[in-house]
Structure 1
Amino acid sequence: MLIVEELHMLLLRPDGRIESAVSVNRLYGEVAAVIVDLALHGRVTVSAEKYPVVDIVSTAPTGNPILDTTLERLVPLRGKRLQSLVTRPKLDPLEVVVESLVVQGVLVRGERGFFGWGSARTPESDPAPEHVLRSRLAAVLAGTTAPSQADLALLSILQNLNAAHAILREECGGVSSRDLKRRIEDLTAGSAAGDAVAKAVNDAITAALVATMTPVIVAATIT
């Protein structure tokens, strides 16, 4: 399963609604996650500069509709800063991610909101994949399992969406939001589980999401 698919499972409540902690910022996280997936599949690179740039190194199809759809959408945007890309609705992988999870039997297509308004809900049909994922992340946070590339990416994205504690409240072992943040920072900075590509992408995602989220946080504080 792709990182972006695992992220979507974490962000989705069992009733098919997006968790309130990320209801506004889901786009940023899921675009970031699918770019990580593309990098790890050798289709894009993410530069290591202060304002990382995404470039395409191969347009060869991967055979995965989520990756191939996103790659096609990225072609005219090659060379753009990651900070810019994560905010672009055009790159939102939501529809293809949901379709993939429906095909896998993880989600089902449900009803729309009251009077048929809003987007259709996609409630969980098979809770097993998310339970396995959450158990895996709990073990990583507890230090009993070495983190994979996917684990590092998921934890980094959740933390930089300011949603890690809300989403992983049970998996973090009851620690405070501050302590969880410190634990994730230690993992993503010091783990040897990820290769150079994964580390570069995680660092870039952190820089991009921090830059993107800062105006949102400031505005919320002022109001």
Structure 2
Amino acid sequence: MTDLNEFYRHWLHTRRPDVPAFKSAADVPIDVQFAHVVRDKASHRGVGLRSGLRELAAGAPNQDYLEEIGSLENLEYLDLGWPMTATDLAPIGKLTKLRTLRIDSPRAIADFSAIAALPSLERLFISNAKHLRTLDFLRPLKSQLIALGVEGSMYTAQTIATLAPLEGFALEALFLTNTKLEDQDLSPIATMPNIRILGTGINAPRAQFYALRDAKPDLVCQWFDEKAWGSFKDPKPPRSMQ
């Protein structure tokens, strides 16, 4: 399970533990391919000129930082780290080679549609997104995403209306850690032909997990094991059923 998690999550800091960290874009060598650049006021200025960058962890990105990132046409991996104050994701729509996108706590983002226009995107992870309630915007990525995470923070659950927009997706891995499903329905996962791993908290009744286990016996999920439930109880039913 751990190996599968690492493979699909594809984090920069685990794949490249020696990735150089910079406090100022001015210190980033012009030909560097991998970097971690944390913004302090305007210290990000000039990162858009580092055209050789293929993988970037961007700390504290505001809108100006995101505009510069939009100039990095060779970027394949982008981690937009906390605290993210950018208000518009439109600049990432220019990143046609981007394969992995991670967005942590986008508190001011209400429109995620720019993500669906990324032609090379394979892995997408969004966590603690204050204004994200529906997954409808993901529909254009049905045949290209192999890993998806829509997750909450350590203390705040990520509320999602339903997984229905993901029906038939080509996903191999789905991560729903600390995610609250309003309809508590896991059946859309059973329609995913390639699904291998489901990492999730208890966001549906036990019967839902067992039904999914029966439909997808090769799927890896800790809640398929009856012993894992111990004293855990089903979540409260949706309001429509109360």
State the TM-score, normalizing by the size of structure 2. Answer: 0.27
Tell me which protein shows more helix as a share of its residues: 1
State the TM-score, normalizing by the size of structure 1. Answer: 0.29
Tell me which protein shows more strand as a share of its residues: 2
